[in-house]
A and B are shown apart, each in its own frame.
Chain A
């Protein structure tokens, strides 16, 4: 099925000033399409978490938004460093955020669990030295 909207947002590593721009734009675009309520909130939370994960943990990457008539898809892809232990990374409270991120109030270890909780479909693939790909799907009622 062809996407109604396909948008690619580049996200730079450690750029805390621009962090959240992609999520804000995604929320605006979906609102304009008439998406609201619970789904909009869940996409907003998940897109912010995945965007901030790119800023905090990756060496740079991009967040893609695909909107289909019946679903919203978010895909995050980075160029590294990759996650050595996915089950540990998925655990609530586990974080490898650095001091700078923690001083801003990040590093609660809630990012990946928040994404999984808010998305209808969640998939994460990671390879150390290569990078991480996260796919999330949200059903439009």
Chain B
């Protein structure tokens, strides 16, 4: 699944316009950054309510495909600028983290990269 397909599936809007429509290899949800660092995978779609600079740093360092913010949470300012400059897709969905992950799992996105 591509990030653009994930956006459609989760009714999400892109907060960053990135040229690269990356392949999503797996999904994850957690708001503890160090925990995510330990379990992050390349191509991961990460669902989190955290929106500060370090979220972008973790996603970029782990080569993730996108950050998905649930319940219309928005990322703003420096963090969004950083995501843009790093080419990291940031999406905002009206669904809850639970519903987002449910839809991803239902569409065959695994919890770990295969």
Contacts and interface: CB of A to CB of B under 8 A. Distances in A.
Contacts of B18: none
B54 A110 contact: no
A49 interface: yes
B42 A20 contact: no
Q: Which of B33, B52, B60, B62 has the most CB of A within 10 A?
A: B33
Interface bracket on A:
20 to 34
Interface of B: 31-35, 37-38, 40, 42, 48, 50, 52-58, 60-63, 78, 86
B62 A41 contact: yes
Give the secondary structure class of B's interface. Answer: helix
Contacts of A20: 53-54, 56-58, 61
Contacts of B54: 16, 19-20, 52, 104-106
Interface of A: 16-17, 19-20, 23-24, 27, 41, 44-45, 48-49, 52, 104-111, 113-114, 117
